[in-house]
């Protein structure tokens, strides 16, 4: 396993819990609505090639939330400040689900933040012919039922989802969920401006999607492709919302080919 550190990055007085490890050029990972996975296998694999920065978003995990930060565009604005604080510019980024939405907003508002943009089963654009599953109105167990196409093919499933999580884990999950509600309640999981704003994005962009995503339909990936000139869409068969966990080999290939 690649060695990593934990640090609290001070962004204008707000402390952002950041996992950092690996070597090579910097790569920013932005997690989804559920929260930071910790130094998971896919993070470790990416850190073999890149110096990974994996923050918990403000309001998630151990990261603080400034009072003014209440929307995804606020979050994007905050992250341009975070990158500036770390002296990072023109770096690679992978945004997962809601993190993909954040990455897209950053790319649309600031053309020098990223050099390559990769979105994995990202929310942010309203589908026309389908719907993004409402994760707030169902129980955490029901949400989990939607995440994977086939849980039996997920490596280490029992370890990732213990039958009896600790009270601290339960409370952290509730708190992360509350933050997601704060950010994404209405309109639910999209920004109506985003498809128009994405015309500004000129950097290489790749979408990676689980073909059988029951949370963010593949249609959203197609809409991203349409909105971002020159982008491509890699669809992974027999795979749900989290290809990095459910189909790690295919995911890594799609990621490393693109990021290289």
Partner 1 sequence: MSLDVFYFTEMPYHHIDDELAEQWPSLRLTFPNSYFDPNKATDLFKRYLDEFQYAEEAGFQGLMINEHHNTPSCMDVEVNITGGILARLTSKAKILMLGNMLPTSDNPPRLAEEIAMLDVISGGRIISGFVRGIGVESWANNTNPVYNRERFEECHDLIIKTWTTPGPFRWEGKHYNYRAVNPWMVPVQKPHPPAWVPGTGSPETVEWAVKHRYTYAAFLTELSRAKQLFGSYREQAAAAGWEAGPDKFAFMICAHVNETDEKAQESGKAFMWRMGHPLKGPREYWAPPGYFSQAGVAANAARRQKPMNEMTYEELQEHNHLVVGSPETVIKKLRHIKDELGIGSLLLETQGGPLSHEDTMRSIKLMGEEVIPALQD
Q: Which runs of consecutive H residues, i.e. helices, occur in 38-164?
A: 41-47, 72-86, 98-109, 140-147, 157-160
- CA dist., res. 235 & res. 10, Å (int): 38
Closer of 1 and 141 to partner 1 (Cβ):
141
Taking the complex as a whole, how short is the minimal distance between the CB of residue 196 and partner 1, in angstroms? 24
Question: Cα 199–243–96 angle (5° rounding)?
Answer: 45
SS3 190: strand
The C-alpha atoms of residue 188 and residue 80 are separated, in whole angstroms, by: 24
Residues linked to residue 222 through DSSP beta bridges, in sequence order: none
Smallest distance, partner 1 to C-beta of residue 158, A: 25
Nearer to partner 1, 183 or 194 (CB): 183
In the complex, least distance from residue 71 CB atom to partner 1, rounded to whole angstroms: 11
Nearer CB in complex with partner 1: 1/186: 186
Q: Give the residues lining the site for partner 1 (CB under 8 A).
A: 136-139, 174, 177-178, 180-182, 185-186
Of 157 and 185, nearer to partner 1 (C-beta) is 185
Closest separation between CB of residue 108 and partner 1, Å? Answer: 24
Nearer to partner 1 (CB atom), residue 169 or residue 238: 169
Between CA 162 and CA 195, with CA 122 as vertex, the angle to 5 degrees is 160
Closest contact distance (angstroms) between CB of 65 and partner 1 is 11
Cα 162 to chain centroid distance, Å, stands at 22
């Amino acid at each position: 396993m690649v060695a990593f550190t934990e640090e609290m990055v001070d962004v204008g007085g707000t402390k952002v819990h950041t996992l950092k490890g690996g070597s090579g050029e910097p790569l920013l990972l932005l997690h989804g609505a559920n929260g930071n996975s910790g130094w998971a296998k896919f993070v470790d694999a990416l850190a073999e090639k890149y110096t990974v920065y994996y923050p918990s978003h403000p309001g998630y995990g151990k990261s603080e939330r400034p009072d003014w930060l209440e929307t995804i565009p606020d979050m994007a604005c905050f992250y341009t400040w975070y990158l500036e604080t770390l002296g990072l510019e023109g770096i690679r980024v992978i945004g997962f689900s809601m993190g993909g939405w954040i990455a897209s907003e950053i790319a649309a508002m600031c053309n020098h933040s990223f050099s390559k943009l990769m979105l994995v089963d990202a929310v942010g654009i309203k589908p026309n012919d389908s719907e993004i599953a409402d994760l707030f109105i169902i129980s955490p167990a029901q949400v989990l039922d939607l995440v994977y196409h086939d849980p039996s093919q997920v490596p280490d499933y029992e370890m990732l989802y213990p039958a009896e999580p600790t009270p601290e884990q339960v409370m952290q999950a509730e708190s992360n969920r509350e933050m997601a509600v704060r950010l994404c309640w209405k309109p639910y999981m999209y920004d109506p401006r985003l498809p128009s704003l994405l015309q500004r994005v000129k950097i290489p962009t790749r979408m990676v999607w689980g073909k059988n995503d029951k949370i963010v339909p593949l249609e959203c990936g197609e809409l991203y492709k349409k909105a971002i000139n020159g982008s491509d869409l890699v669809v992974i068969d027999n795979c749900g919302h989290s290809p990095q966990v459910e189909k790690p080999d295919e995911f890594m290939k799609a990621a490393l080919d693109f990021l290289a």
